Amino acid sequence: MIGTVVGAATAVGAATAAGAAALGIYYPNASLVGPVVGRGPRRRELYLTFDDGPNGRATPAVLDALDEAGVPAAFFMVGNFVRRHPALARRATEAGHLIGNHTTTHVKLHWSGPRRIASELDRAHATIADVTGRAPLAFRAPHGYRNPFVSRATRRLGYRTFGWTFGVWDSDPIDAAEIRRRVRRRLRPGAIILLHDGDGYDPDGDRTPTARALPDIIRDAREAGYRFRPLTALLD
Ligand SMILES: [Zn+2]
């Protein structure tokens, strides 16, 4: 295993794009650059996850919808946005949702070196711990892009790294009805569902269509016999 990691680290330095793809760098659930959880047990259970917040417009609406339906979720937050909206990060924590580290500036990590990667993860870790009073236990890489230095940092921080089973490109300019349809079509047992309550590159980005779709997404899934489980169930 150690041999594999070292080999991959060496290869990354000289890799072509094709070589990087072969190493699994572009695949959110590839385990070649470190272990990652991309799906839960194949039961009629689902895991909701929201990336790129907190966001002043969408996050409160997402939290309202989750609260209303009694559904747990995980939020992979951007450190700089936690600084902007500390009350939202605290509200999500107090509601019992899992807060994960999604880097400080939402940089794509796959071509970054060890120092930049450590800084991106460590600063977000400290911010989340400081603001919410709880050290994060989970990590998701922006776009799922990782390399062996990312694995080294997540191991040091004691994180479980998460990918996702499916996303629905809810960052496309599409309306809530289309987001709902896309999720409904892709539901499958044990799925970790990737949605967005923020925009990783624009703190004022509009993710309200996702928030508006959420009550119907939850209703559709329950009508299809699914129940929602907290991502914390997959931490160990
Ligand atoms: Zn992201």
Cα(3) to centroid(ligand 1), Å: 30
pLDDT at 20: 58
Name which of 169, 162, 181 is nearest 207 in CA terms.
169
Does the pLDDT at position 25 exceed 90? no
- Known active-site residue 52: no
Cis peptide before 136 (omega within 30 of 0): no
pLDDT surpassing 70 at residue 174: yes
Does the structure show a pLDDT above 70 at 172? yes
How remote is the CA of residue 197 from the centroid of ligand 1, in Å?
10
pLDDT range class, residue 188, cuts 50, 70, 90? very high
Alpha helices per DSSP H over 133-204: 148-156, 176-186
User: What is the percent of the chain where pLDDT is above 90?
Assistant: 83
Catalytic pick from 51, 52, 170, 199?
A: 51
Distance from Cα 92 to the centre of ligand 1, integer Å = 18
pLDDT value for 16: 54
Comparing 212 with 173, the larger pLDDT belongs to: 212
Strands (E), 20-172: 45-51, 73-77, 98-101, 138-139, 160-161, 166-167
Band of the pLDDT at 22, cuts 50, 70, 90?
low
Q: What is the pTM of this model?
A: 0.89
The amino acid present at 120, given as its one-letter code, is E
- The residue with greater pLDDT, 220 or 10, is 220
The answer to whether residue 21 scores a pLDDT higher than 90 is no
User: pLDDT at position 10, please?
Assistant: 39
d(CA 144, CA 161): 10
Query: What is the average pLDDT across 91-120?
Result: 97
Q: Is the confidence at residue 7, as pLDDT, over 70?
A: no
Is 102 part of the annotated catalytic residue set? no
Q: How far is the CA of 194 from the centre of ligand 1 (A)?
A: 10
Q: Give 104 Cα–ligand 1 centroid separation in angstroms.
A: 11
Name the active-site residue from 85, 97, 106, 196.
Answer: 196
Residue range 14-30: mean pLDDT, rounded? 60
Mean confidence (pLDDT) of the chain:
91
33, pLDDT greater than 90: no
CA gap 31, 191 in Å, rounded: 17
Ligand 1 centroid to residue 50 C-alpha, Å: 9
